Amino acid sequence: MKVWKVGHSEENNDWVRVKGGNFPFVVDVLDDTPRRSGWAQLELEGVDGTHAPLHFDSPWFTGRSLVVSDRAKRCLEDLMGDNVELLAADLEGEPLWLLHVMSTEGCVDHGRSVVQRTTSGEVRGFLEYQLHRETIATLALFGIPEEMVYSPFCTEAFKRRVEECGLTGLKFKLVWDSELPQGSIVFRTVCV
C-alpha cells in the first residue's frame, strides 16, 4: 500500500481564496468539525488574475481542504468516505467543490515515525511517516491530527482515479510505502 501527499502542480496557476480573504474561514475549517449541516455555498474569488472558467480541475487553496471542479467532483465523489465532505462553492458562476478532509485518528505509528518538534514539544511535522495500514486501508483521502494546515494524504484509489479521469492541477508526493523498510522515504525538512 502506498500513500501520497496531495499538492498542486507547478504549471497550475489557478489560485482561489474565500471571497474577502481566507484567514477567518481557514482557522474555522482547520478543525475536524463536520460542516455539511447548514452549509451555505462558499463564495470564492480568484487571486493573481485567476478568473472563471478555471484552466485546471483543482486550483490552489489553503490548508488541508482541496477545491475541485464540478467535473472532478463527479469523478471522485464515490470514493469519499465519512472523513471527507463535499461542500458547494462558486467562483464567478462556475460551480466548484470544497473537499473538507478531516483527520483520521490512529493512522500514524508514532513509535516508528520520525517527528520534528517545536521547543515546547508540539509536533511541527514529520521527517518520516510510518502509518497503520489497517486504519487507512479503506480511505481515499485523509488527514492526520498533527498536520491540520498541511496538504491532505491520499491512497492509491484516489491517485489512480485522478489519473484515469485525466484531472489536472494536482501532483502527488510519495510519503509512505508499506512494502519498503523503515528509513526508505525520509525528508530532510518537514514534508508539506
pLDDT at 27: 46
Tens digit of each residue's pLDDT (9 = 90 or more) over 100-143: 888 788 899 999 999 988 899 888 889 999 999 999 999 999 98
Cβ atoms of 17 and 47 within 8 Å: the answer is yes
**DSSP 3-state of 147:** helix
Domain ranges within the chain, ordered by starting residue: 2-177
For 106, how many CA atoms within 13 A lie in the half-sphere containing its CB?
5
Q: Cell match 497550475: residue?
A: 12
Compute the distance between CA of residue 54 and CA of residue 77 in angstroms, rounded to an integer: 20
- The neighbour count for residue 41, using CB atoms within 10 Å, is 12
Tens digit of each residue's pLDDT (9 = 90 or more) over 61-91: 876 788 999 999 999 999 998 888 899 999 9
Tens digit of each residue's pLDDT (9 = 90 or more) over 36-54: 787 888 889 998 889 999 9
For the question of whether the overall pTM of this predicted structure is more than 0.75, the answer is yes
Q: Which three cell numbers stand for residue 7?
A: 499538492
Compute the distance between CA of residue 53 and CA of residue 115 in angstroms, rounded to an integer: 41
pLDDT at 68: 96
